[in-house]
Amino acid sequence: MVRFGYTMMTEQAGPRELVEHVAAAERAGFDFSVTSDHYSPWLAAQGHSPYAWSVLGAAAQATTTIPLMTYVTCPTVRYHPAVVAQKAATLQLLSEGRFRLGLGSGENLNEHVVGPGWPAAHVRLAMLEEAVEIIRALFAGGGVNHHGQYFDVENARLWDLPERPPPIGVAVSGDRSCDLAGRLADLVIAIDPERELLEAFDRAGGAGKPRVGQLAVCYDPDRDAAVARAHEQFRWSAGGWRVNAELPGPAAFEQATRYVRPEDIAESIPCGDGTDEFVEAVRPFADAGFTEIALVQVGGAHQRPFIDWAEGVLLPALRASFDPKAH
């Protein structure tokens, strides 16, 4: 059975609103939640970017059952992996075991702010691998000393460590990241419904592990309004991950997407309130083998109507379509 999640997208809502939204998503019956971890929004029209870890701490207290997850945190430039391990362990304690640590190699958009420069893609993956090894060592308990190619850790220990450390997910986009995830991760994360990514993950050791995808949607009873909003706030997604990982800020994304039309975005993001269109947009992820799919409703001010609609209409339709027991 495919599980369906709710996305706290920090780029499009303030911290208090994000917590209110995930609490509403829990009441509506979403199976899990994920949270982006940004320093900047993709586009100025989105208008927000609070500190995700403070939001998650508040969400852990405002909810009781819905699983939480970073989607995703980069543990290499803006954050040192030893600090990420401490944050994740603390959040696992606050949430009473509901947290998963999703990691990725990052985007220049968020990581350039601390000033060391943006590494090449192969270096970012090597840094991510070393970071995961450090986080795993700290999760195991005891003191950790590490002097590697990219990171140093001096006599570090997590003094508040949960009995069950957070499962670690790794975001993938190609063969090298799939190999890393298959060897080191407890689950895989991908934003494209490509079966080949999951097969590469399986070959590297990931067979049987959860696989979490994500899909942007734009619910609105007025389809034209939904298309306009998706274009205004989500046209950055048209660039593809190889481009999106490199651009340095919202102004660059504005420039790079100036020729993207509303109808272009409507081809990749289901818009309006046509349930069948939303179900069919999910189908490629289910067919590819994803076990969990997190939905992103476009527009911070439009979360509550979406959550209400999802509770009464969308989630029942998705479960009827993708639960083998329903057939």
Give the active site residues: 38, 107
| 38 CA to centre of own chain | 11
β-pair type (211-219, 292-297): parallel
DSSP tag of 35: E
Please say whether the beta carbons of 32 and 59 come within 8 A.
no
Please say whether the beta carbons of 112 and 118 come within 8 A.
yes
Alpha carbons 55 and 53: distance in angstroms, whole number: 5
The Cα-based distances of 19 to 10, 39, 43, 50 in angstroms read 10, 18, 22, 12
- Locate 291 and state its tokens: 């076990």
Alpha carbons 65 and 95: distance in angstroms, whole number: 9
Nearest to 106, CA basis, from 43, 177, 165, 175:
177
- Locate 67 and state its tokens: 């699983």
- Based on the number of CB atoms within 10 Å of its own CB, is 4 exposed (0-12), middle (13-18) or buried (19 or more)? buried
The Cα-based distances of 296 to 75, 112, 131, 163 in angstroms read 23, 25, 28, 32
Can you name the residues that pair with 271 across neighbouring β-strands?
A: 218
User: One-letter amino acid identity for 210?
Assistant: P
User: One-letter amino acid identity for 227?
Assistant: V
